[in-house]
Chains A and B, each alone.
Chain A
Amino acid sequence: MIAELGHFCLILALCVALAQGLLPLAGAVRGNARWIAFARPAAAAQFVLVALAFIALAWSFAQNDFSVAYVAQHSNTKLPLAYRLSAVWGGHEGSLLLWILLLAGWTLAVALASGPLPEAMVGRTIGVLGLVAVGFHAFILFTSNPFERLLQVPAEGRDLNPLLQDPGLIFHPPMLYMGYVGFSVAFALAIAALASGRLDAAWARWSRPWTTAAWVFLTLGIALGSYWAYYELGWGGWWFWDPVENASFMPWLIGTALIHSLAVTEKRGVLKNWTLLLAITAFSLSLLGTFLVRSGVLTSVHAFATDPRRGIFILLLLVLVIGASLVLFAVRAPRVASGGAFDLVSRETFLLANNVLLTVACATVFLGTLYPLAVDALGMGKISVGPPYFNAVFGPLMVPLLFLVALGPHAAWRSASLAELLARSRVAFAFAVIGGLALPFALGGFSPLVALGLFLVLWIIACTFLQVRSRVALRGGAPALLRQPAGYWGMHLAHLGLAVCVFGVVVSKGYETEKEVRMAQGDTLAIGGYSLRLVGMREAPGPNYSAVVGAVELSRDGKLLKVLRPEKRTYFSSQMPMTEAAIDPGLTRDIYVSIGEPLGGGAWSVRVYYKPFIVWIWGGALLMALGGLLALSDRRYRRGRATAQAAAMQGAKA
């Protein structure tokens, strides 16, 4: 009964989405204010209906209602309640429902927070979001209904994939999807701007917080996913250039470019067309990510289903969305002419360089991800493009980007003096060169790549410091620090976060040690100045698995620090073995132990990693996200209706 209610809510939501997509758009074209006014209540109704459907599915999971096929496939009575609830998005159908729920949530947020915008713009934006919702509702209802019943009710469910039975699963997908779906707002705003031909500073100021918010979620989602892979997969890696990871990384790269080009569009009224194109691209890549992961073209942990109908449906949706928006762009973009010129050396040029580098980097990731699929689809053989390709291409492209990140904030808008830039950054450059050359020796040996990486890290930090200092000197001493807008601090915090992240990547890659050995009870192993001793292995039961737990003593200079307990689990329902690594985390190093397989005679294969400064990678990502949050809190974005309307009037006159 509950499941049918959920299904019914979804059908109703599709009808509401149709009306939400068509009426306000038609109203905006024909100037009918009553049709436009339909947008907000429709968005609210849409959210309530989808939320009810989502609750219905969660209820079925909580009640172990195995007559619902999706529940029977992804749950089990022995599964703890927290995992039963997060299993709602542990499979294909439910994760699509989550997608739609978040889309409805973002739409509702737009409806509630769009006070300062002109009504026609609000109607168009919510209308476009409604059309996107129609596509996804149809996809769910026609190809992947999560409420489908089974005629023969099984006594027990098939259980959730053990890889997904982890606290990481509770947070990672919703965060990532919040980011993916969040770009739909920037996309809808871009389409609304194209449709109306109105793109002014007020539009850009309004788009910025939405884009930044989506970007913050995506950053956190990717970082969580990376950390999850690190401790859950047992191979000590944190980024595999797996197509599914790339699918989330591409919108992030373009989203980052979009944040920066929006800044230029708001402050200087240039790069307008480019900004629109980036907004369309960011959302298209989010859709492509959904397609790659959900269609089963990539067979990996994340591809829950292999049903060609679904793939074709998403592909059609993708072609429709991208095709229609590009056609609209081609027809309307010339109207959205850019005003204002800027010199070759100026803040604008630096941000443009940032955009070019990020877009090119995204294109290389795109090529590496899709080329094997294209070759396979054309029947030209089977190939794979692994991490060496991405490292060889992506790394060099990041070097100029990191170099320019430090300089950009020093350059003035419109026109900057090259001589002044050089004079300002001279000290920072000298500091970074010396530090970059010296620091590797302190960390464990010189290598040119590590030195280059550390130079870039120190360069960003030193330039940021100098920028803040000169701003203070210019604006009248320390009290000026407090008067700086939150966006200013957000930018610097995000840039410092990038530096911290790069530091973690460079140092952990440059100085990690890996040992893979055979260990029997009482054997010891030395790594990175630490000593590990296998005390013993014992059986331990879990709620829905049995495990072999090792006890490994970690000590330094003969002093016992900690007992690490890596596990090897076997899940009852699927008989799948799973490795649970044991990690002793630290600010300056992680010690990572995971057990492989029994080798006979009581011995096991054991993998041990010593990874210096690896948590800085995720710490840096966290700082970037905090920077984004700080920028979001900027007062500029919360200016009252009056100023925005005044700006709109000016725009209309111009």
Chain B
Amino acid sequence: MKPRHKRLALIGGGLAALAVAAALVLNAFQSNLVFFFSPSQIAAGEAPRDRAFRVGGLVQAGSVKRNPEGLTVNFVVTDTAKDITVVYTGSLPDLFREGKGVVAQGKLGADGVFRATEVLAKHDENYMPPDAQHALEQAQKAQKSLRTP
């Protein structure tokens, strides 16, 4: 085999590896990117019905209700403007508290209830998940602009 052919074969091999990787990345991005929506955005109908996304905000005080039999729990996530009810089955993270920030990942049901597959609250008493913080800021901005026409 001539050196030129050999070089072409090596470059071709490298490009093929890159192409396969690019295809894998695009495919995985397509199905695995998880978008974030605030309760206000969900109320406005911006959130998708058929794919998983994240919602964040504060756990409304007094809203956490445990099913006495199993591990199912209901709570309300609020960004102080709008609320959404979340249902989750399983143990909640250590720092899940009423009045504290939380992010839940899951799908929105036809009944408007968010069915979470994952609930995140990180490990620091002062820490607010950045997504939840973002939701609160957005909602407050929106309210302010409503009050001052």
How long is the Cα–Cα vector from A579 to B31 in the complex, in angstroms?
A: 33
B46 to chain A, nearest CB (A): 11
- Are the CB atoms of A384 and B34 closer together than 8 Å? yes
Q: Is A385 an interface residue (CB 8 A)?
A: yes
Nearest residue in A to B70 (C-beta to C-beta)?
Answer: A518
- Are the CB atoms of B131 and A385 closer together than 8 Å? no
How long is the Cα–Cα vector from A382 to B129 in the complex, in angstroms?
A: 12
Q: Is B43 an interface residue (CB 8 A)?
A: no
B94 to chain A, nearest CB (A): 4
Query: Given A386-B34, A392-B32, A597-B91, is A518 in contact with B123 using a C-beta cutoff of 8 Å?
Result: no
From residue 370 to 391 of chain A, which have CB atoms closer than 8 A to chain B? 371, 381-386, 388-389
- Are the CB atoms of A364 and B131 closer together than 8 Å? no
- Are the CB atoms of A299 and B130 closer together than 8 Å? yes
Query: Given A161-B123, A161-B124, A381-B35, is A517 in contact with B24 using a C-beta cutoff of 8 Å?
Result: no
B138 to chain A, nearest CB (A): 10
A383 to chain B, nearest CB (A): 5
- Are the CB atoms of A344 and B9 closer together than 8 Å? yes
Cross-interface CB contact of B33 among A360, A385, A575, A576, cutoff 8 Å: A385
At the interface with chain A, which of B11-19, B75-83, B106-114, B140-148? B11-19
Query: What is the total number of residues of chain B having a CB less than 8 Å from a CB of chain A?
Result: 42
Q: Is B44 an interface residue (CB 8 A)?
A: no
- Are the CB atoms of A382 and B36 closer together than 8 Å? yes
From residue 592 to 644 of chain A, which have CB atoms closer than 8 A to chain B? 596-597, 599-600, 605, 607
- Are the CB atoms of A386 and B32 closer together than 8 Å? yes
- Are the CB atoms of A574 and B125 closer together than 8 Å? yes
Nearest residue in B to A594 (C-beta to C-beta)?
Answer: B91
- Are the CB atoms of A385 and B124 closer together than 8 Å? no
How long is the Cα–Cα vector from A76 to B59 in the complex, in angstroms?
A: 31
Q: Is A420 an interface residue (CB 8 A)?
A: no
How long is the Cα–Cα vector from A652 to B54 in the complex, in angstroms?
A: 62
- Are the CB atoms of B3 and A516 closer together than 8 Å? no
How long is the Cα–Cα vector from A105 to B1 in the complex, in angstroms?
A: 50
Q: Is A343 an interface residue (CB 8 A)?
A: yes
The majority secondary structure among interface residues of chain A is: mixed
Q: Is B61 an interface residue (CB 8 A)?
A: no
How long is the Cα–Cα vector from A341 to B1 in the complex, in angstroms?
A: 12
How long is the Cα–Cα vector from A161 to B68 in the complex, in angstroms?
A: 33
- Are the CB atoms of B17 and A360 closer together than 8 Å? yes
- Are the CB atoms of B71 and A518 closer together than 8 Å? yes
Contact flags (1/0) for A42-72 with B, using CB distance below 8 Å?
Answer: 0000000000000000000000000000000
From residue 493 to 528 of chain A, which have CB atoms closer than 8 A to chain B? 516-518
B33 to chain A, nearest CB (A): 5
Cross-interface CB contact of A364 among B21, B31, B71, cutoff 8 Å: B21
From residue 1 to 57 of chain B, which have CB atoms closer than 8 A to chain A? 1, 3, 6, 9-10, 13-14, 17-18, 20-21, 24-25, 27-29, 31-36, 54
Nearest residue in A to B37 (C-beta to C-beta)?
Answer: A382
Q: Which chain B residues lie closer than 8 Å to A396 at the CB level?
A: 20, 24
A260 to chain B, nearest CB (A): 15
Q: Is B99 an interface residue (CB 8 A)?
A: no
- Are the CB atoms of B32 and A389 closer together than 8 Å? yes
Q: Is A331 an interface residue (CB 8 A)?
A: no
B48 to chain A, nearest CB (A): 13
Query: Given A360-B17, A383-B33, A516-B91, is A341 in contact with B24 using a C-beta cutoff of 8 Å?
Result: no
Give the most central of B91, B125, B131: most A CB within 10 Å.
B91
- Are the CB atoms of A576 and B54 closer together than 8 Å? no
10 intermolecular pairs with C-beta atoms under 8 Å apart: A352-B10, A381-B36, A383-B36, A388-B28, A389-B33, A518-B69, A576-B95, A576-B125, A579-B94, A596-B91
Q: Which residues of B contact A (CB under 8 A)?
A: 1, 3, 6, 9-10, 13-14, 17-18, 20-21, 24-25, 27-29, 31-36, 54, 66, 68-71, 90-92, 94-95, 122-125, 127, 129-131, 134
- 19 further A-B contacts with Cβ under 8 Å, apart from A388-B32, A599-B66, are A234-B94, A299-B130, A344-B1, A352-B10, A357-B17, A364-B24, A371-B29, A381-B36, A382-B36, A383-B36, A385-B29, A385-B32, A392-B24, A575-B125, A577-B94, A577-B95, A599-B71, A600-B66, A600-B68
